[in-house]
Structure 1
Amino acid sequence: MNSPITFTKDEEQLSLYIMKVYPTDVSVIWENYTKVELLEKWWAPKPWKCETQKMDFREGGSWNYAMVSPENEKHFAGLNYQEINPHRSIAVSDFFTDENGNINTDLPKLNWLIGFTGIEQGTKLTFNIYFNSLDDMKQILEMGFEEGFKMQLNQLEEIVRGN
């Protein structure tokens, strides 16, 4: 049984707040966000998979990847690492790209602050996601972000539980 996920939409603040508790140490969750071989195991909602094109995990670095369908349809995206506080937080800008990593300006760009907090039950993982406009927020949600992201977070839980 997966632990619950808090998913709160705030249209006034143009933001999403997402929180989930994992029954493991912060260092385990941190590694699942910072090592390609672990990130690729859960970042895409099944049956899709994640394929990294390149990852440079450092402030000023980036991660470019594709979400790949079972029919080999690819949707490309990337993010830039803005601030990294080891085992505490990661701030990124997130965007859609073409296959060469060029930003697709027709789709929204988001800013994320991901927090990693050690608690008695394990790790509280929080996401504060900020949008440039209400239209951008609605577009991302209409693309199935809530359902897909919850699937990904539950997949990570299954991995850390050893299922």
Structure 2
Amino acid sequence: MPVTDITTDPENLTMTLTADVDAPVERLWRAFTQPRQLERFWGPPGWPATFTAFDFTVGGHVHYEMTSPKGEKSRGRWEILAIDEGAGFEVLDSFVGEDSEPLDGFPAMRMTFGFDATASGSRLTNVTYFTSAEALEQVVAMGAVEGSRMAMAQLDAVLRDLREYAQGRGTQVELLDDTHVRITRLVDGPRELVWRAHHESELLKKWMLGPDGWVMTAAEPATAVGSAYRYAWEQEGAPETAFGFEGEALLIEAPWRAVTTEKMSGMDGPSTLNDLQLYEEDGATLITTLIEYPDKETRDMILGTGMGDGMETSYARMEETVLASA
């Protein structure tokens, strides 16, 4: 993880984030000054950012919104106060409503971003200045420290070529906290086709099979927000092994994001929340699934079934059957 330190200073009314990365200053600068790059890490997992306006000039405004798995929006606006090309910039960051105007009761914060060369790459120093101790406490209570840490933890994947960063690593399972798991897999194929592979019945039956010897007996994907889906499998020649999953689509933003609930068919109990996101670069697509479990015990039980290995087998089959024919 690139974040090396986040400190709050109630006396000087600041919060300072420091991140060391294995990339030159000019690459780090581009990551923070190009909207499509910022979108990949500015929001923490589960709240990805979309930059809807980007006038990166002194006096200009940058507008962004972060969207939760359930479609809730948290909107912000930067007013660009100063730019030192290639070395740093300064903004006034405000919480805003749908009309892009600052929200009453939420503090505006001056933020500086500095980029410096180090022996191993470069360093980001991000300082947020507050107008009062109450404003600092309010933002910290809203989860700013942990949210910033989780957001910047995504920076490594942005700064490196995607194939260099992820190809050949297979399916990666990361425990983010007691209830959140992030699963990533790079596949060699365009995002549009990877999206279709997740949302068309005939394509699903070609790859979403898990270990060899299993068949998919039901592939009924959700096609719109609020619609239900159902998947079922059984071992060939052994109907007594049948099982399945079902749920509802909470968010669909084709071809890059789909959020669904999931539970085992016929079973009571809480569902998981599955947030699928697809990012394409140079003809390869990074599949990221953020799973929210109801508790640590459920998380550990499901991971203990060998879910990661089954997903790797399925993703490899996707490349061999669906993507190889494109």
Short-chain TM bin? over 0.9
- In 2, distance between residues paired with 1:159 and 1:51? 15
Partner residue in 2 for 1:9: 8
**Aligned-residue RMSD, C-alpha:** 1.1
Q: Match of 2:26?
A: 27
1:152 & 1:3 partners in 2: Cα distance? 10
Identity of aligned residues (%): 28
Structure-to-structure mapping, 1:103-142, within 5 angstroms: 103-142=102-141
Distance 1:48-1:4 versus aligned 2 partners, 3 A rule: closer
1:67 is aligned to: 66
- 3-state SS, counterpart of residue 138 of structure 1: helix
Moved over 4 A (4+): none
Q: CA contact under 8 A between 1:5 and 1:150: conserved in structure 2?
A: no
Contact kept, 8 Å, 1:96 with 1:107, in 2: the verdict is yes
CA deviation vs aligned residue, 1:134-154 (integer Å, no higher than 9, x gap): 000000000000000011111
Residues 2-25 of structure 1, C-alpha deviations (whole Å, 9 max, x = no match): 244211111110011211101001
The normalised TM-score by structure 1 is: 0.95
- CA shift digits 1:43-86 (9 cap, x unpaired): 11012111122110111111111110111111111111100001
Aligned residues: 162
Map Cα deviations across residues 101-128 of structure 1 (whole Å, 9 max, x no partner): 1111310111111100011111110011
**Structure 1 residue runs without a partner (length 5+):** none
| Cα separation, 2, equivalents of 1:41 and 1:9 | 25
After superposition, residues 80-95 of structure 1 pair within 5 angstroms as 80-95=79-94
Does the 8 Å CA contact 1:89/1:115 hold for their aligned counterparts?
yes
Query: SS at 1:71's partner residue?
Result: coil
SS of residue matched to 2:11:
coil
1:36 alignment partner AA:
P
> Residue 153 of structure 2 aligns to a residue in which SS?
helix
- Tell me the distance in 1 between the aligned counterparts of 2:138 and 2:23: 34
The separation in 1 between residues aligned to 2:75 and 2:9, in whole angstroms, is 27
Equivalence for 2:248 = none
Q: Which amino acid aligns with 1:105?
A: D
Quick one: which amino acid aligns to residue 23 of structure 2?
Answer: T
Indicate the residue corresponding to 2:153 in structure 1: 154
